[in-house]
Amino acid sequence: MLYPAVPELASKTNSRYALVIAVAKRAREIVEQNERKLENADNLMKLDVNEKYFIEKPVKLAINEFSENKFSVKE
């Protein structure tokens, strides 16, 4: 079972379509941030690869951020 559940997430917005678009956009932002971290790292040993943004998948992180109200859907 997925957590948080889709109905729980969908209740925070008027449409599932808007939810999907917002989560996908945030997931792309997370990927871009990680790529910049890797490009800017002088020494990969200094980079904390145990950081949650390198372990978890970007979509899952975006869903969790949405459920924790770290971002919202603008309609």
The tens-digit pLDDT sequence of the chain (75 residues) is 467 888 888 888 888 888 899 999 999 999 998 888 777 766 555 666 566 666 788 999 999 999 998 888 776
23 inside domain: yes
So what's the pLDDT on residue 41? 65
So what's the pLDDT on residue 23? 92
Counting the structural domains of the chain, the total is 1
So what's the pLDDT on residue 1? 47
1 inside domain: no
Q: Rounded to two decimals, what is the model's pTM?
A: 0.76
Domain membership of residue 40 as a residue range: 6-67
So what's the pLDDT on residue 27? 94
26 inside domain: yes
22 inside domain: yes
- CA–CA–CA angle 40, 43, 48 (5° rounding): 80
